Amino acid sequence: MDTAILVESPAGMLCTNPPHYDNIDNISDDVDEKCRDQGTLQIMPTAPCENDRCERRALVTHGYFPIPGGANTTAPVFNTRVAPEGWTWYVNPEGSPFYVKCDEHLVTDIPMERLGGLKCWIDLFRARIKALQSPMPKDYEIYLNPEAEGQTCKYYLVNHDNRSLFWIDDVCPGFGNMEMFLASSPEHLGFLLQQQYWKHREYFPHRAISVASRRKLYQILNFARADLMTSRLYSTFPYSVSDCTQFMNILESDQDDSPAFERIYNTYYGADHARISREQQRLDKPAPQRSILMDSYNVLMFNMPGRRNEELELLFNDELAYAMHCQEYGAARLKEWQNNSMTSIGLTVIGVISVLRPTNPISASLGSLAVALALGGVGSSLLLLQRYADADKFDALLAGLHLSDVEHPTLGFQPMAVIHCLPGALATWSVILLATHLLSDFVDLQTMFVQAPTIVFALTFVAMLFKAAKVLRVGFVEPTEGPPILV
């Protein structure tokens, strides 16, 4: 028996499972025969926020290219990227290229060598539009993104007249890749579609923003600034007064200023593999090797070095250092080491006072070890504070040189991550041993060690009973909420 899950909106409308999307077999008269030989092709709705531009992986290898005599950077030898006939090549300010075919209202950001394969998708799309017999807006644009080796192509259309998105298929938000359109009313959904329109304009900025739109944004920011100044605690605007002022200054700046600065030289600006996110790796660099010693340190130090290693790798991804991120990391570490030093000093004082009291040998040994670890935490904290005294003021050059020096040829930043986490790990172990030392004054540890297996087995059995009871309780609870299920 077929089932359909229905979700009722506040307005009383029902959103069912997504409709079937026509494939190339359903439209036979307007599609080239060569396209039919490729099998069943299908177009699927998507949205700008689902663009995978920041997740595309690519690795590059640097080498030495010959430079002809007399050639300059405008010579053809340095400009080998020529778009196919009818297509115009643009570059997003972030550095990623995209291609526009104005006469057919098309835009795409797939690699240039795949543009020739778009013909089948364009024919299929035009056939779908013709079959619907629905008039298109006066000023519209079609975004196509076919899979590299697949039978599907994602698409959406933008209406520049009313600044919104639309599709030629019935779209049901809440299913597939359209879950971002969770709205409280049709009017709210309209605002969400307009938000996606501006996301599209952000990714494909080949059209100038109208003066009216710029003026409206300026007025919104100006009102937000006044609202924040008169009702700071209750204003719904997400930016501060300073942020609004800076945005307004940007809007007032010269429209002819180039958005691409010197960063184009290290982000592969204009290439299909352009780096548009700081997390994207482009250099074909060997991954750091794992070692038993580093893994042991990571376990003994409560996985602190593992997390710190990830931060250091991101700071120096593709051997690029950003001053603001390095300064934030340095400020966080300085504060952390200061707190660790104060904690370790306190643990040392408590441990010394406790060890001086008459106690059993096991307790005395644990207390002495706790004091030794606390002193190690103090010493390592002071050493790191002295070495990194100005870490929160490092510029990009100094931070890059330092990260390059401390990166191990095979282990990467793992050894340095261990050193950075040493004060915190020593303080944590000191707390554990000091607590055990104090507990040993009231508990016979020797007897407890002998009975440890029995205690562990009993606790495990009790935990399993609690888990079983929880599973059974959930299984017999009546559902109190959720969408109605129609059979």
Q: Three-class SS string for 413-459?
A: CHHHHHHHHHHHHHHHHHHHHHHHHHHCCCCCHHHHHHCHHHHHHHH
pLDDT band, residue 427 (cuts 50/70/90)? very high
> By the 8 A CB rule, do 283 and 319 touch?
yes
Has residue 150 got a pLDDT over 80? no
Determine the pLDDT at residue 79. 66
pLDDT band, residue 266 (cuts 50/70/90)? low
What are the φ and ψ backbone dihedral angles of 112, each rounded to 5 degrees?
A: -60, -35
Of 209, 234, 237, 213, nearest in space to 223 by CA: 237
CA-to-CA distance for 263 and 272, rounded, in angstroms? 16
SS3 72: coil
Q: Model confidence over 168-227: pLDDT tens digits?
A: 888 877 665 666 677 767 887 888 888 889 889 989 998 888 888 888 888 989 998 998
> By the 8 A CB rule, do 87 and 99 touch?
yes
The mean pLDDT of the chain is 79
SS3 460: helix
DSSP symbol at 468: H
SS3 211: helix
CA-to-CA distance for 24 and 405, rounded, in angstroms? 57
Q: Model confidence over 104-144: pLDDT tens digits?
A: 899 999 888 888 888 888 888 888 888 887 788 899 999 99
Residue 2: CA atoms inside 13 Å, Cβ hemisphere, count? 2
CA-to-CA distance for 230 and 224, rounded, in angstroms? 10
User: By percentage, how much of the chain surpasses pLDDT 70?
Assistant: 77
Q: Model confidence over 452-472: pLDDT tens digits?
A: 676 677 778 778 877 877 777
CA dihedral 160, 162, 168, 170 (to 10 degrees): 150
CA-to-CA distance for 422 and 149, rounded, in angstroms? 49
Q: Which comes out higher in pLDDT, residue 479 or 346? A: 346
Mean pLDDT for the stretch of residues 33-53: 75
CA-to-CA distance for 468 and 34, rounded, in angstroms? 60
- Maximum average pLDDT range among 64-68, 143-147, 216-220, 421-425: 421-425
Contacts 24+ apart (CB under 8 A), 88-93: 88/206, 90/204, 90/205, 90/206, 91/260, 91/269, 91/270, 91/274, 92/203, 92/204, 92/205, 92/276, 93/205, 93/259, 93/260
> By the 8 A CB rule, do 99 and 113 touch?
no
Kindly state the tokens that stand for 288.
């750091």
Query: What pTM was estimated for this model as a whole?
Result: 0.62
CA-to-CA distance for 121 and 454, rounded, in angstroms? 69
Residues, the chain, total?
487
> By the 8 A CB rule, do 205 and 99 touch?
no
Has residue 413 got a pLDDT over 90? yes
Between the CA of residue 234 and those of 224, 227, 272, 323, 330, what are the distances in Å? 12, 9, 45, 34, 34
CA-to-CA distance for 429 and 375, rounded, in angstroms? 12
Mean pLDDT for the stretch of residues 396-419: 92
> By the 8 A CB rule, do 21 and 44 touch?
yes
Residue 372: CA atoms inside 13 Å, Cβ hemisphere, count? 6
- Count the Cβ atoms, other than its own, within 10 Å of residue 394: 20
Determine the pLDDT at residue 261. 41
DSSP symbol at 58: -
> By the 8 A CB rule, do 43 and 155 touch?
yes
> By the 8 A CB rule, do 270 and 79 touch?
no
Contacts with 294 (C-beta within 8 Å, 6 or more apart), sequence order: 305, 411, 414, 415, 418
